[in-house]
Every structure is written in structure tokens, then in C-alpha cells.
Structure 1
Amino acid sequence: MKIMVYSHDAFGLGNIRRMLAICEHLLTEIPQLSILLLSGSPMLQGFRLPRGLDYIKLPCLNRGNTGEFAVKYLGIDIDKTLKMRSELILSAAVNFQPDLFLVDKKPLGIENELTTAVNYIHQNLPETKLVLLLREILNSPEKTIPEWQKSRYTEVIDKFYQLLLIVGSQQVFDFCKEYKLPHSVTDKTHFCGYIGRPQDCKINQNIREELQLEPLDKLVVVTPGGGEDGYELINTYLQGQELLKNSQYRIKSLVFCGPEMPQKQKQELCAMAVKYPNVEMREFTNDLMSYLSIANAVVSMGGYNTVCEIMSAAKPAIIVPRIQPSQEQLIRSQRMHDLGLLRSIHPQENTPQALMTQLFQILENPQVPKNIDLEGLPRITHHIRNLLADKMTPTQAEFVYPQSNPSQELLVS
């Protein structure tokens, strides 16, 4: 059994981390499976890959604050780079001959770079299934609906795709209703729940010793995700350290800058942090869950993966979302704030005073997120298994996972 996976990577680490988690779960649950991952993430080589998974590294692209794509490293123009990426993807499809093609975020990829590969599969591999996987929020409906209409994405899904899997909850954001999708698309759509993460990898006591935490210390983990636009969040948090001097709490902070934060900004923040002995600065960890497991509070941006990790760890959190070029994080944090799952501060209102006030409040009254659907990984596997049932041996077809019940997806106590 062969699955080819396309990861939409042009900003941050979110997409590649999400797709790697899905790949790992599929490999765990489906015997004799091989997965070929196509990605332009510059951090791909930094992740541990399970047996059965290999990748083709595409040339890196970058999406700036304007939303326009540019070449990240190579000294050639965007059109030539997209042509190279498209030809690499087509070559992978021709030579790998996948039984299923799992596509992340856009039905035809970045700047329609999947068009030739999708057409090849449709014309030459009629038994190959196509599955589109989407976050629960893409952007505001005002932006997303015209973009989908202009790109004719619903027509593409109608013609080429067998399934549309949404990794989220209808009660947070009803993808089909908010984006006004036609019945031809909604009939193919399944809400899978958010992608939960294992509680921890390291032993909690070992982490406390590593961070030199005393029994009465409160740990705050600060993370802007990939970090490319995380400077303001960390800068505001460090400025707020002056307000902690008279706090009743003994607060220690573990701050991850993120591997994609510009080096100059990282150096500036580390120089600021030297003044505060209770702040430890690090660049990156591929095991954030272990640190979240012992945290008393989390301060972060509102990326999909980070929010899933916070929900999985069941930790009180303050989210300061990114607001450009997409409204995705802002919508997610506001909806979850309204449901009582976390606290959200608009970045334009995020002062050191406002951030520390919220932090004191959640340390004083630590309400943790409860009863949110985190069964995304097993449900994705369930749907893919069903789609490939005719190609599976009896052993491969044993795994069964119940369908989600939208009315029970999210119950906030």
C-alpha cells in the first residue's frame, strides 16, 4: 500500500508538523504501508522520521505578510521555482504510483503546482484516491469564499477528490456553513476533530530537574510556534517581567523563540532576557508536549498545532494570535475564547500590563480546557482505511473507528 502526501509549507512549521503526525499515525495503524512525503519545509530534516516514511524535499518558498509567495533560498525567480517543484511532484506521482494522494490545504497546491500531477493521476491512475485535508479555519469567510470561487476549488474537488477531511470541530467553526460550500462538496466532507498529541515523552520529574524548578515554582511556557513573526509576543512578555518582581508567585519562564525567527531578533531577545534570571531562552524543541505537561500556564500565538498541543495537555493558556496576512489565528482564538477554552488578547491590545494581568488571573484560577474532540488522527485513519478497503488485506482492514457525532464533539463544562 502506497500513499503520497503533499504538505503545503510556506510559513512556519504548522503544516509539516501536522502532516508528519498524520503520517506517523497511518504507519502505526496500517501494516505494510509506505508513505512518500512532498514538502518544501526547511526544517524537515530536523524531525525524526518513522520507518516506512521517506520524503522528497522541494525548493523552499516563503509567504510574506502580504500573502505573496517568494523563493526563500535559491537565486532564481518564483516562476522557475514553481515549475521545478511541479515537475518534481509529477515525477514522484509517475514513479511512486500511489494508491492514495493526501493533499494538504489547497486542492491544487501552492500556485496550482499540483495541477499536472492531479491530472496525471486522474487520467492514468483511475484507481488512485485523492483526499483533501484542511484545517478547520482557512481565513475569514470574506477572504476565503471569493478565493475559492476565483480558483474554482469546488469544481476541482467535485472532479478529482473522493474525500474532504476537516481537522476541527463544527462547534468552533462550521467549515461548510461558514464558507457556503455546495452540497456536492459537503457530501464528501467529514469533521474529524482536532489532532491530539501524546501527553508527554519525558518523565515529568526529569524535566523539573532539567529546568531546576523548585516545588513552589510556577512554570510558564512561551512559544510563538515557528517564530518567524514571533518577536513581538516574546518582546512583550519579557517587558512584562518587571511586573513580576512583586508577584506572590515564584514564576519561571521557558521561552522558545522558534527556529525561523531571524537571528538578529533572537539575539536581541536573548540579550533582554539576561536581566531576568528566572527566564530561560531556547531556540526550538521537537518535544513541546513534555514541557507543556509540567507547565502551569502557556503563552503562545494561535497556530493550529500549538493550540492542539495546549488542548491535549489541558493547560490554561493566553493566545496572542497572528492577524496578517490571514485571519485564521484570530478567528480560532476568539471562538475558543468565547467557548471558555482559552484566553485571547488581540495583538494590538497586547501590552506588558495586559499580558501579565491575564497571566496572574489564570495562575490564580487555572481553568483548563475540557471535553474538546481530539480524535483527529484515528478518524483520519478510519476514513482513509475505508477508502482503500478494496486494496487492503484482512489484517490491514481490522482497524475500526466510530464516526464523529457533531452534537457531542465539543462539550465545555
Structure 2
Amino acid sequence: MKLSPPNISHSSPAVRRRALFYVFDGGSGIGHLRRLARIAEAMRKDFSCLIVTGHDVGLQWMVPQGCEYVRLPSWDNLIAAKSAYWGRVPFLDVPLDEAVRLRSAILLGIVEGFQPDVMLVDHLPLGAHAELVAVLRTAPCRKYLITRGIQNETEDLHRLILGGAALSALGKDYHRILSAIDPKIFNLAKHYNLPPEVVSKILSTGYVAPAALAGRRASIRSSRGIDDATPWVVASVGSGQWGEPLIEACIALAGDHPDVHFDIVIGPRSRLARPEAHAAGRIRLHANCADLADLHAASDVVITAGGYNTLLEAIQGQARILCIPYRKDRRDEPFHHATLLQPYIDLRMATEIGELGMLLQAAINDCREGSVKDGRTELRTDGAVRIARMVQDDLERCLDAQFAGH
């Protein structure tokens, strides 16, 4: 397939450029979609942003207004074992390599039609099953890998990121590697044994967090019918997949605290029964929650499984954080990240759900004593804006270099 030259060759600084975002969708969560959507939100003034993903939940309310998306056939519907988890048969009953060819061909068609100036790839350099190989080799645009920095080290990192074809792609195909974490918390370049040609491309951007929500605390609480003196707990486990035991524990604990308000979000990928979203009441159960970032930022206590986005949304306000990671190995991202954040934020962690009741009671008692006092404001959370500015500046430099060469 022959691809047309990128827009950069015939653009001027006044032209709205095109950015393609490829969202990792091979795992259980939708946090990758949330993170890239926030970057797209920061870029949409200067770029036409197209998000490409296999996720089938969250697209309508996560994709920023003015951006577009293309939904790929999901790995959940292409891989037999994943389909079986949901009690389904695969969309196509084909071997994995044929499923990969299908997604790769669709991606090539999207790139040919959209002709992006930049492509931002989330998490894995080659995608979950190397479906990006052909695109990386042929798409004539600038390519950026976006990573949360800390990896799940119990996974096959050599195959997925740090070795073989994936590591080769980082060195040859990507122009920059953007680590979306505060460098005070974690240094990607120093933590993993990466070759110099890869280390030279790594930039720490700060966290990709929502726009400041702290100033809206009073209005958010008022719309929920909660005054500032009433404790409010928000519990969520991201997409909900693998988080069912924690949600069940939160529902049980809500009944033990009659003077505390609870919003409990089951998640769009949970296998628990779907509740109706209650419009009123002390305890509200949600199957999904489009304004969850607001709830996290305005609440007093956030209960989480340690997801990147939940942690960042919670520290936009005054919430004390209770973290029960579903990945219990200290080498994996939820546990590792939460541990590194503890010196800066009021974050209490346990490995067993049975400890949650004690943690919750202590956090509620502390809320009644006064507002949280920690170092959360020291963390850099403007990563989306910094990434948008960096990409724009890179393209301007490329244009200047092209014009100078003529």
C-alpha cells in the first residue's frame, strides 16, 4: 500500500494539522482511553484529532467534543479466550495471526485516508499483538509513544516493550517517548536498562491529569446534595473488570456508615449486575459515570484499585485515598505507583479487601478533624498541555528545517 506524504510537507503554521491516537485495548481497563482522550482535548485547538481503539465502552463520553474516533474490532471479540470470559463466541473464528492481519489492514487504511501529521501510540510500541508493525514502517509522520512510565513488571516486558522487535521500534521508528509521570515520582530512563538511543528520546512530561477541578468542589457537592461537613465516599475500580470483589465490599460497608454518603461505580466492564443509576439517596450505585472525575475531585474519600486516572482525579481535590490494588505484586504498576505516591499524598494501602473497613473508618475520622494536608500540590499534573505544546513545537521545527533546505 502506497501512502501519501504527510500533511507536514504542505502545511503552514496556520493550518490545523492532523493527529491520530492509537489506544491500547488489550487489557482489562479503559484508563488508556481516558489518558489519550485528555491529550486529544489539549491538542484539538490546533489539530484534528482522530482516536482509534478497540474499546466498546466510554467512547461517547470520553472522546472530547470536536474530535472523532474509529472503533476497531475488539480483541475481546477476536481472541477466543477473551470472548469466552464474557460468555460469547468470537466475532471471527480465525487464528490470532489472521485477526492481527485484519486490524493491521484497517489501521493502514485509516492512515492512508486520514494522512496524519503525527501519530501517538499508547503503552505498547507495537500494539498488543504487533498489529502496528506495518503502520510504523510506512506511515510518513512523526510518531510518539505515550507511556504512564511505571510498567507491570510481572508481564513479559522483554517481548512487549523492553526487548526484541518492540525495543528496536523504540530506537528506529519513534521520534519521542513521552513518560506521563512526574519525574520526582519515577524516572523511566533510569529505572529500566534501556540502550542510549532509546534513553535519548525519553521525556518526562508530568502526569496527564484533568483540568483543575478543585475550585468546583462546592458546586459539585451541592448538585449531589451534600454539604461540606458531610463525609462523602466515592468508590470506583476503573472499567470494573477484576474489581468486583472490591465493589461488593464497598456496597457492604456503605450500610455500616449511615451518616456518610456513598457513590459506588461498578464499571462498564464489570460482570456484576447492572444497577439503575439512582438520582437520589445516601447510597448511589452507578453502572457507569460520565462525570466520575468530578466526583473523585469533590469527595472526601476515594476508594480505588490503584488506577492511574483515579489517583490523579482524586488529588485534584481534597480526597484521602484508600487503595486496594487488584494486582498485589509490588512490581506491578498499581501497587508500585501507589507506594511511590505515599510521601506526597494521603494514600493508605492494603493488599487484602478485609482491611478496607478499618482504613475507611480511620479516613472518615480524619475527614471530620479537618481538610487533608499533604504535598499533592507539589506534583506536576499538566502533562497533557505540555505534550500538546511539544508536538506542535516539533512540527514547527520540522517545517523550518524543510523550508531551510529548499
User: SS at the partner of 2:73?
Assistant: coil
Q: Deviations over 1:70-118 (max 9, x none)?
A: 6876253444332211110011112222211111111111110001111
Offset at 1:390? Answer: 4.4
Aligned to 1:385: 392
Aligned to 1:294: 298
Aligned to 1:359: 363
Letter in 1 for 2:127: G
1:226-265 alignment runs, 5 A limit: 226-241=239-254, 243-244=256-257, 250-264=259-273
Aligned to 1:332: 337
TM-score, reference length from structure 2: 0.81
Q: Distance in 2 between matches of 1:226 and 1:295?
A: 20
TM-score, reference length from structure 1: 0.80
Q: Distance in 2 between matches of 1:165 and 1:195?
A: 11
For structure 2, the 5+ residue unaligned runs are 1-16, 401-406
**Shift in alpha-carbon separation, 1:336–1:36, aligned structure 2, 3 A:** same
CA contact (8 A) 1:243 1:356 kept: no
Aligned to 2:129: 111
Aligned to 2:107: 89
**Shift in alpha-carbon separation, 1:168–1:352, aligned structure 2, 3 A:** closer
User: SS at the partner of 1:226?
Assistant: coil
- 1:161 corresponds to which of 174, 185, 205: 174
Offset at 1:151? Answer: 3.4
Aligned to 2:233: 220
**Shift in alpha-carbon separation, 1:20–1:201, aligned structure 2, 3 A:** farther
RMSD (Å) for aligned C-alpha atoms: 3.1
| Count of residue correspondences | 370
Offset at 1:19? Answer: 0.8
Offset at 1:166? Answer: 0.4
User: SS at the partner of 2:101?
Assistant: helix
**Shift in alpha-carbon separation, 1:352–1:82, aligned structure 2, 3 A:** same
- 1:187 corresponds to which of 193, 196, 200: 200
**Shift in alpha-carbon separation, 1:70–1:168, aligned structure 2, 3 A:** farther
1:62-77 alignment runs, 5 A limit: 62=76, 74-77=91-94
Letter in 1 for 2:112: V
Aligned to 2:378: 371
Offset at 1:145? Answer: 4.8
User: SS at the partner of 1:229?
Assistant: coil
Offset at 1:315? Answer: 2.4
Q: Deviations over 1:342-378 (max 9, x none)?
A: 3242333643433334423542463343311112012
Q: Distance in 1 between matches of 2:360 and 2:173?
A: 50
Q: Distance in 2 between matches of 1:215 and 1:224?
A: 25
Q: Deviations over 1:211-262 (max 9, x none)?
A: 33255321111111111122121222233345536xxxx3111111111111
Q: Percent identity?
A: 21
**Shift in alpha-carbon separation, 1:371–1:215, aligned structure 2, 3 A:** closer
Aligned to 1:313: 317
Q: Distance in 2 between matches of 1:222 and 1:192?
A: 28
Aligned to 1:406: none
Q: Distance in 2 between matches of 1:102 and 1:51?
A: 19
CA contact (8 A) 1:316 1:367 kept: no
CA contact (8 A) 1:140 1:331 kept: no
CA contact (8 A) 2:299 2:317 kept: no
Letter in 2 for 1:17: R
**Shift in alpha-carbon separation, 1:350–1:145, aligned structure 2, 3 A:** farther
**Shift in alpha-carbon separation, 1:204–1:158, aligned structure 2, 3 A:** closer
**Shift in alpha-carbon separation, 1:199–1:83, aligned structure 2, 3 A:** same
